[in-house]
Structure 1
Amino acid sequence: MNQFEIFFDGFYLSLIIFLGIRMLLIENNDSKILGSMALLLGLGDSFHLVPRIIANVSENGFIENSFGLFLGTRVSAITMSIFYLLFYYYIKKKNNMQKKGLDTFLILLFVIRIATVIISFNHSEEMDLISNLPFVLMGIIDILLLFKNKNIKEFKNLYIYVLFSFLFYVPVVLLKNVYPIIGMLMMPKTIMYVLIVIKLYKNLKKDFEKKYIMEFAISYLLSGILAGAVYRELGKIYPVDVKMAFVHTHLIVLGFVFLAIFYLIAKNLEIPNKKLEKLIRVYNFGIYFSFTTMFLHGLVDSYPILNSVKIAMTSISGIGHILITLSIILISIMSLRSREVLKA
Structure 2
Amino acid sequence: MRSSMNRRRTKKGVVALRAIFESAFDITYLLTIFTLGVLILRGGPARRGELPAQLAGWTAIVLGFGDSFHLLARVWALNTTGVEAHHVSLGYGKLVTALTMTAFYVLVYLLILRRWPTARETRTEGTYRPLGPSPVMSIVVYTAAIVHVLLVLLPQNDIFSADPPLSWGIIRNIPFLILGVVIIGALWVRARGDAFYRFAWPAVTLSFGFYLPVVLWAQQNETVGLLMIPKTLAYVWLVVMGYRAFAGKHNSDPDDALRAAGTTTPTERA
Per the shorter chain, which TM-score range? Answer: 0.7 to 0.9
1:116 maps to 2:151: yes
Structure 2 equivalent of residue 324 of structure 1: none
- Determine which of 69, 72, 87 is the counterpart of 1:66: 87
1:40 maps to 2:62: yes
- TM-score, length-normalised on structure 1? 0.58
Whole-angstrom distance in 1 between the partners of 2:197 and 2:42: 21
- Determine which of 218, 227, 230 is the counterpart of 1:176: 218
Structure 1 equivalent of residue 267 of structure 2: none
Whole-angstrom distance in 2 between the partners of 1:146 and 1:37: 15
Q: Which amino acid aligns with 2:84?
A: I
Whole-angstrom distance in 2 between the partners of 1:159 and 1:208: 23
Whole-angstrom distance in 2 between the partners of 1:108 and 1:209: 36
Deviation at 1:174, TM superposition (A): 0.7
- Superposed CA RMSD in Å reads 1.8
1:199 maps to 2:235: no
Q: Would you say how many aligned residue pairs link Structure 1 and Structure 2?
A: 209
Structure 2 equivalent of residue 54 of structure 1: 76
SS in 1 for 2:36: helix
SS in 2 for 1:65: helix
Could you tell me whether the CA contact under 8 Å between 1:23 and 1:204 is conserved in 2?
A: yes
- Determine which of 172, 176, 180 is the counterpart of 1:139: 180
Whole-angstrom distance in 2 between the partners of 1:132 and 1:6: 26
Whole-angstrom distance in 1 between the partners of 2:96 and 2:184: 23
* Structure 1 residues 17 and 151: CA distance shift in structure 2, 3 A: same
Q: Which amino acid aligns with 2:158?
A: N
TM-superposition CA deviations, 1:156-215 (whole Å, max 9, x none): 1111111111100000001111112100000000000110100111110242799xxxxx
SS in 1 for 2:171: helix
1:17 maps to 2:34: yes
Q: Which amino acid aligns with 2:72?
A: V
Whole-angstrom distance in 1 between the partners of 2:24 and 2:31: 11
Whole-angstrom distance in 2 between the partners of 1:151 and 1:88: 17
* Structure 1 residues 209 and 93: CA distance shift in structure 2, 3 A: closer
Q: Which amino acid aligns with 1:99?
A: S
Whole-angstrom distance in 2 between the partners of 1:154 and 1:141: 20
Structure 2 equivalent of residue 300 of structure 1: none
* Structure 1 residues 119 and 209: CA distance shift in structure 2, 3 A: closer
Structure 1 equivalent of residue 142 of structure 2: 107
1:2 maps to 2:24: no
TM-superposition CA deviations, 1:301-334 (whole Å, max 9, x none): xxxxxxxxxxxxxxxxxxxxxxxxxxxxxxxxxx
Could you tell me whether the CA contact under 8 Å between 2:70 and 2:92 is conserved in 1?
A: yes
SS in 1 for 2:154: helix
Structure 2 equivalent of residue 127 of structure 1: 168
Q: Which amino acid aligns with 1:122?
A: D
Could you tell me whether the CA contact under 8 Å between 2:44 and 2:247 is conserved in 1?
A: no
Gap regions ≥5 residues in structure 1: 211-344
Gap regions ≥5 residues in structure 2: 1-16, 119-132, 253-270
Whole-angstrom distance in 2 between the partners of 1:209 and 1:168: 33
Whole-angstrom distance in 2 between the partners of 1:95 and 1:187: 30
Matches within 5 A, 1:144-223: 144-149=185-190, 150-207=192-249
Q: Which amino acid aligns with 1:133?
A: I
TM-superposition CA deviations, 1:45-73 (whole Å, max 9, x none): 000000111122223x2122111111101
Whole-angstrom distance in 1 between the partners of 2:236 and 2:43: 19
Runs of 4 or more, structure 1, over 6 Å off, are none
